[in-house]
């Protein structure tokens, strides 16, 4: 009898344990399901935010391009300036007013993109504001008075502060991962401003050094920091968040880039004018009014980031694992928007800690005329109203050096701890400063250089040239 009781007690106990186990398993399953569900939602939110910002970049470029053509049109209406000086004077005045408008649009458009990226993240259930990014935005507003105005936009500093404040009005939920902060030398090629360099040191990824130009040399011969560039002050022509990378150039278009000639510029302008119905622009008027070479006129052109893809080309050492080159009409970098969203998931399973999921996405506007890209090869150096597509693009296609700008610790490090021309403050508690300490250890670098000398050629090199897809995996994630 007692035996039976004991036995049934044991059975109950076993059953109870099994039930508990099952319950635990069920909770883990619920967590796994919710986690993957939430991750999908978060990815949607990040993608939507990037697309929203890139769409505004396209709108901005189209507006700037249309205004470029409006100027050509106004001048061509007059024809030969010497025949009618009064009308020419009037036309150049109109052009100046249009330029003033362009200067503002170059800032306002991308910041509308910032606003709309925040809305997109919110509407896709990103509920927690991004404290890091919000603080960075607040700093931008704080620093805005340092901006120097232009002749056509003297109140640029106040206006910019107002625009940024407005863009963050409904909260900051999506980080601008490719922000280009003004007081920041981030665009330089110096390794101290390249986050990938720090990650390579932290992870002892020696192949990174092998694959990045002179970096293997730096590993072998480093003797101290030098040539750290100063952040340029001046008067930036694009905002910090989601700028389109355009450049205002004064006259003499044919001088901008020696790869193309005045004739090429003229034929590009003519083609665009025809498509945009500018009735006054024809070869004769264009020659007569001297639009292309007039040094007193300002034009919106594509800046230095508007070049062919590096990472998307098969000849690039650290390239993406592509089996063919990018189609001509997509073969241009330039304006893009990278957004980062974060969401913390509250797990049901006891003992499992909260963990933030992060998703970063990139998108960019594309434009082409008859399959030819509007911006590359110097065929269409003048910004044109030709942007028709917005696409998501792999993050790996962009230079790591321009990313990670939604991370406040990184921004603070590059802004405050790197001290041009040759100093690095070893700030306590800064992860990046700690990594630099590791780098400055001679034995550490020697270990890497020795490994590369022995294994670099064999283990780091990728197959090149045509044929089948490159093997050996890739350094790039999504
Ligand atoms: Zn630091």
338-367 burial, b for 16+ CB within 10 Å, e for fewer? bbbbbbebebeeeeeeeeeeebbbbbbbbb
Q: Does the pLDDT value for residue 476 go beyond 60?
A: no
Cis amide prior to 301 (ω within 30 degrees): no
Per-residue pLDDT tens digits for 253-278: 545 554 456 676 677 778 777 877 77
Burial pattern 67-88, b for ≥16 Cβ within 10 A else e, equals bbbbbbbbbbbbbebeeeeeeb
The CA 352 to ligand 1 mean position distance, Å, reads 32
Cα–ligand 1 centroid distance for 454 (angstroms)? 32
The alpha carbon of 426 and the centre of ligand 1 are apart by a number of angstroms equal to: 6
Centre of ligand 1 from the C-alpha of residue 433, in Å: 4
Residue 454 has pLDDT above 70, yes or no: yes
Does residue 456 surpass a pLDDT of 50? yes
Looking at the chain, the whole-number percentage of residues with pLDDT higher than 70 is 85
Q: What is the pLDDT of residues 461-470, one digit of tens each?
A: 766 544 333 4
pLDDT digits (tens, 9 = 90+) for 111-127: 999 999 999 999 999 98
pLDDT per position as a tens digit, 274-297: 877 777 778 887 777 777 666 677
Provide the terminal-to-terminal Cα distance of the chain, rounded to the nearest Å: 66
Per-residue model confidence (pLDDT) at position 292? 67
From ligand 1's centre to the CA of 148, what distance in Å?
Answer: 29
177 CA distance to ligand 1 middle (Å)? 19
- Cα(426)–Cα(437) distance, rounded to whole angstroms? 8
Local confidence band at 55 (pLDDT 50, 70, 90 cut-offs): very high
Find the 412 Cα to ligand 1 centroid distance in Å. 7
Q: Which of 142, 165, 146, 170 is nearest to 157 (CA)?
A: 146
The chain-wide mean pLDDT, for the chain, equals: 83
Could you tell me how many residues make up the chain?
A: 478
Which of 6-20, 173-187, 216-230 is most confident? 216-230
Predicted local confidence at residue 253, as pLDDT: 56
Structure-model confidence comparison of residues 128 and 400, the more confident one = 128
Cβ neighbors of 233 (< 8 A, separation 6 or more) are 146, 148, 183
DSSP 402-420: G--TT-HHHHHIIIIIEET
363: which DSSP letter? Answer: E
Cα–Cα distance for residue pair 407/139, rounded to 1 Å: 13
pTM: 0.82
Alpha carbon of 442 to ligand 1 centroid (Å): 20
Res 139: pLDDT: 93
pLDDT digits (tens, 9 = 90+) for 98-113: 999 999 999 999 999 9
Ion ligand 1: protein residues whose beta carbon lies under 5 Å: 413, 417, 427, 430, 432-433
Residue 444 and residue 434: Cα distance in Å, rounded? 14
Distance between Cα 229 and ligand 1 center (Å): 17
């Amino acid at each position: 009898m007692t035996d039976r009781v004991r036995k049934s007690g044991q059975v109950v106990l076993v059953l109870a344990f099994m039930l508990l186990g099952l319950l635990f398993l069920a909770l883990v399953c619920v967590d796994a399901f919710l986690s993957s569900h939430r991750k999908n939602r978060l990815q949607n939110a990040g993608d939507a935010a990037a697309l929203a910002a890139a769409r505004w970049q396209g709108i901005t470029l189209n507006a700037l391009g249309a205004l470029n053509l409006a100027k050509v049109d106004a001048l061509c209406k007059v024809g030969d300036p010497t025949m009618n000086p009064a009308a020419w004077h009037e036309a150049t005045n109109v052009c100046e007013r249009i330029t003033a408008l362009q200067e503002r649009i170059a800032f306002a458009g991308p910041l509308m993109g910032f606003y709309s990226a925040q809305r997109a993240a919110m509407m896709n259930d990103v509920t927690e504001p991004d404290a890091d990014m919000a603080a960075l935005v607040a700093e931008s507003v704080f620093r805005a008075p340092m901006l120097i105005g232009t002749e056509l936009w003297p109140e640029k500093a106040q206006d910019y502060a107002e625009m940024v404040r407005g863009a963050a009005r409904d909260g900051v939920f999506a980080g601008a991962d490719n922000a280009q902060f003004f007081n920041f030398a981030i665009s330089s090629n110096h390794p101290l401003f390249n986050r990938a360099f720090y990650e390579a040191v932290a992870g002892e990824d020696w192949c990174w050094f092998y694959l990045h130009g002179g970096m293997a040399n730096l590993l072998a011969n480093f003797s101290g920091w030098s040539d750290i560039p100063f952040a340029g002050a001046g008067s930036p022509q694009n905002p910090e968040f989601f700028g389109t990378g355009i450049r205002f150039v004064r006259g003499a278009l044919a001088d901008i880039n020696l790869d193309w000639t005045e004739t090429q510029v003229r034929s590009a302008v003519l083609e665009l004018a025809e498509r945009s119905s500018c009735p006054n622009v024809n070869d004769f008027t264009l020659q007569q009014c001297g639009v292309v070479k007039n040094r007193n006129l300002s034009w919106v052109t594509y800046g230095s980031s508007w070049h062919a893809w590096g990472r998307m080309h098969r000849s690039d050492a650290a390239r993406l694992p592509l089996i063919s080159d990018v189609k001509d009409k997509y073969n241009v970098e330039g304006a893009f928007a990278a957004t980062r969203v974060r969401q913390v998931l509250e797990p049901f399973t006891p003992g499992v800690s909260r963990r933030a999921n992060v998703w970063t996405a990139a998108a960019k506007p594309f434009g082409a005329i008859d399959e030819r890209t509007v911006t590359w090869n110097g065929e269409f150096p003048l910004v044109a109203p030709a942007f028709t597509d917005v696409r998501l693009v792999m993050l790996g296609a962009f230079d790591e050096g321009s990313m990670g700008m939604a991370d406040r610790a990184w921004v603070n490090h590059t802004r405050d701890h790197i001290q041009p021309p040759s100093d690095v403050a070893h700030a306590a508690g800064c992860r990046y400063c700690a990594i630099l300490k590791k780098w400055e250890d001679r034995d550490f670098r020697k270990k890497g250089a020795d490994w590369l000398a022995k294994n670099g050629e064999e283990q780091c090199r990728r197959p090149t040239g045509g044929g089948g897809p490159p093997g050996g995996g890739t350094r790039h994630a999504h």
